[in-house]
Amino acid sequence: MTTVRKGQAPAKLERDEFHLRFMRKFYDPSFEAVSRELASVEEIAWKNYIESHKAPITVKAGAGFADPDYDMSVEWKEAHERLLAAEARQKNPSTPHRVLVINASARNDGSCPGEISKSWRLSKMCEDILHAEGVETDLLDLSLLTSDYERRIHPCKACVSTAMPLCHWPCSCYPNHSLDQDNDWMNEIYERWVAAHAVIILTPTYWYQAPAVLKLMIDRLVCADGGNPDPSSTHGKEAEEAKALEKDWDYPKHLAGRAYGVVVHGDVAGIEPLRRSLTDWLDWMGFIGAGTQAQLDRYVGYYEPYENSHDTLDQDTAFQEEVRNVARSVATTVKLIRSGKLVQPDRKLSKPRPK
């Protein structure tokens, strides 16, 4: 048995430090009127923290799981069942073609910048074309992370780096109620990826890389590529059990066979490596590229000012039409895949290096 390495995790907070962190949520003086009530809530939160109430409501896993008697998080099991239903709809040939359009900019006019993003505008262009092609769309706006109350994508905890079967599909790391790691958006996002026949990601370039809102989602999608759909097989997060299971793991690709398109834009540098990293990632997950015109990187006003960048986009009608071509290519690819006329040529090949 491979040794599970230990010794990095910090000790539990002391009571005084817990109090300071708990009360930061209630900095506004308007909460002073309920200070006694907050003290009572804090005492319960402290108890739950000390006792590690990660999943306080559970249900027996039941039939179909490796250990039917395992106490499974109700929240995880509900998410699991929604993914199964979404997968059934996605595979039903009578359902409409569906494309998940992802706006990956962190900017919108309801947050500090006070102005919509160019990625949002490009996303709406894609939507218009897809609708004209008879394709249903689902617009996922990741900028809501910066403007919605209590909307979060928590970071990946890298369970997969301990053992692939420890990374559950969908992710079981959240919510963790004892650590106040709740309101995680990903269970809804997993369902939207599963329900789609294709995705189009439209993103700006931030410091040569993907915006944090996009990277958070990407990291949490690691469970879609090889993840374990049965947490009872590892009895939650038992690392030793997961390491033993990985010896014969088949790394299931839960989203493979869907089409994709990518639009990356920037103003100075970094668009090509970001476009490549996104397409490499989607290729790795078993997605099918919708052709060279569906993998786009362009500058909007190279080295020009930020303040008039929307005007610059207005004038760049060629770029606008290239974005529309991304949507057209993805629509065509979805129709070919669903009609059986386009199949991944390597889908039946076994990998010499499975992972």
Amino acid, single-letter form, for residue 201: I
In this prediction, residue 72 carries a pLDDT of 98
Whole-model pTM?
0.96
Task: Please give the backbone phi and psi of residue 345, each rounded to the nearest 5 degrees, phi first.
Answer: -65, -20
Strand, coil or helix: what is 347? coil
* Under-70 pLDDT residues of the chain: 1
In this prediction, residue 353 carries a pLDDT of 85
Q: How many CA atoms does the CB half-sphere of 227 hold within 13 Å? A: 24
Amino acid, single-letter form, for residue 341: K
Q: Going by C-beta distance under 8 Å and a sequence separation of 6 or more, which residues neighbour residue 38?
A: 23, 26, 31
Tokens 């490009």, located at residue: 122
In this prediction, residue 355 carries a pLDDT of 77
User: For 220-250, b where at least 16 C-beta lie within 10 A, e where not — what string?
Assistant: bbbbbbbbbbbbbbbebbebebbbebbeeee
Tokens 């690691």, located at residue: 222
Amino acid, single-letter form, for residue 89: R
In this prediction, residue 344 carries a pLDDT of 85
In this prediction, residue 354 carries a pLDDT of 77
In this prediction, residue 237 carries a pLDDT of 97
In this prediction, residue 1 carries a pLDDT of 65
Cis geometry, peptide bond prior to residue 68 (ω within 30 degrees of 0): no
